[in-house]
Amino acid sequence: MKARTPRLRTFRSLRTLRSRALVAALTLSACATTALGAAPGAALTPGTSAPGTAASDGGEATDLSTARVQWIDRTTVAWPRNLGDHTAPHRLVTDREGDLAVRDGKLTGGGRELPLERVPGGLSDRQRAKWPHLSGAYDAYRVSEHDPGALRGALRGQVVATAGEDRLSAATGVQLPGVLDDLYADEGGAEHARLGPAFHQGRRTSLALWAPTAQRVRLLVGGRAVPMHRDEASGVWRATGNWRDVRYRYRVTVWSPSAGKVVTNDVTDPYSTALTADSRQSVATDLSDPRLAPPGWSRLRKPRPTALRNAQIQELHIRDFSRDDRTVAARERGTYRAFTERNSDGMRHLRKLASAGTSHVHLLPAFDFSSVPERRTDRQQPQCELAKLPPDSAEQQQCVRETAGRDGFNWGYDPQHYTVPEGSYAARPDGPSRTREFRDMVRGLNRAGLRTVMDVVYNHTTAAGQDPRSVLDRVVPGYYHRLDADGRVATSTCCANTAPEHTMMGKLVVDSVVTWARQYKVDGFRFDLMGHHPKANILAVRRALDALTPARDGVDGKHILLYGEGWNFGEVADDARFTQATQRNMAGTGVATFSDRARDAIRGGGPFDEDPRVQGFASGLATDPNPSPANGSPAQQRARLLHYQDLIKVGLSGNLAGYRFTDSRGRSVTGAEVDYNGAPAGYARRPGDALAYADAHDNETLYDALAFKLPAGTTAADRARMQVLGMATATLSQGPSLSHAGSDLLRSKSLDRNSYDSGDWFNALHWDCRRGNGFGRGLPPAPDNEAKWPYAKPLLTNPKLYPDCARITATAAAYRDLLRIRTTEPAFGKKTAAEVQRSLSFPLSGPAAGEKPGVITARLDDLVLVFNATPQRRTQRVPALVGRGYALHPLQGAGADPVVRRSGYEKATGTFTVPGRTVAVFRQRP
For residues 285 and 432, is the Cβ–Cβ distance under 8 A?
Answer: yes
3-state secondary structure labels for all residues of 816-870: HHHHHHHHHCHHHCCCCHHHHHHHEECCCCCHHHCCCCCEEEEEECCEEEEEECC
CA 315 vs CA 80, 451, 516: distances in Å: 46, 12, 18
- Closest by CA to 419, choosing from 369, 372, 370, is 369
Catalytic residue among 139, 315, 341, 528: 528
Q: In what order do the strands lie in the sheet with 904-906?
A: 874-877, 911-914, 904-906
Residues contacting residue 421 through CB under 8 Å, at least 6 positions apart: 336, 366, 367, 368, 434, 435, 437, 438, 520
The angle formed by the CA atoms of residues 818, 820 and 822, to the nearest 5 degrees, is 70
First to last CA, the chain: 54
Q: Is the dihedral of CA 231, 237, 239, 244 positive or negative?
A: negative
- Closest by CA to 247, choosing from 222, 228, 270, is 222
For residues 590 and 574, is the Cβ–Cβ distance under 8 A?
Answer: no
* CA–CA separation, 748 and 554 (whole Å): 40
H or E element that contains 91: strand 90-95
- Closest by CA to 710, choosing from 719, 721, 701, is 719
The angle formed by the CA atoms of residues 784, 789 and 794, to the nearest 5 degrees, is 145
- Closest by CA to 790, choosing from 396, 395, 402, 394, is 394
Catalytic residue among 501, 523, 565, 817: 565
Torsion, Cα 408 761 742 303, to 10 degrees, reads 20
Q: Is 385 a catalytic residue?
A: no
Residues contacting residue 296 through CB under 8 Å, at least 6 positions apart: 443
Q: Which amino acid is at 104?
A: D
What are the backbone dihedrals phi and psi of residue 896, each rounded to the nearest 5 degrees, phi first? -85, -20
- Closest by CA to 719, choosing from 703, 708, 731, is 703
* CA–CA separation, 210 and 503 (whole Å): 12
Q: Is 501 a catalytic residue?
A: no
E-strand spans in 96-175?
A: 101-103, 106-108, 112-118, 138-143, 158-163, 170-175
What distance lies between CA 180 and its chain's CA centroid? 28
For residues 64 and 50, is the Cβ–Cβ distance under 8 A?
Answer: yes
What are the backbone dihedrals phi and psi of residue 225, each rounded to the nearest 5 degrees, phi first? -110, 105
What is the largest distance, in Å, between two alpha-carbon atoms of the chain?
Answer: 96
For residues 544 and 581, is the Cβ–Cβ distance under 8 A?
Answer: no
For residues 605 and 2, is the Cβ–Cβ distance under 8 A?
Answer: no
What are the backbone dihedrals phi and psi of residue 724, each rounded to the nearest 5 degrees, phi first? -65, -45
Cα atoms found within 13 Å of the Cα of residue 446, Cβ hemisphere only: 20
DSSP string, 414-430: -EEEEEEE-GGGSSS-S
Coil vs helix vs strand at 177: helix
- Closest by CA to 737, choosing from 849, 804, 829, 800, is 829
User: Annotated active-site positions, please?
Assistant: 528, 565
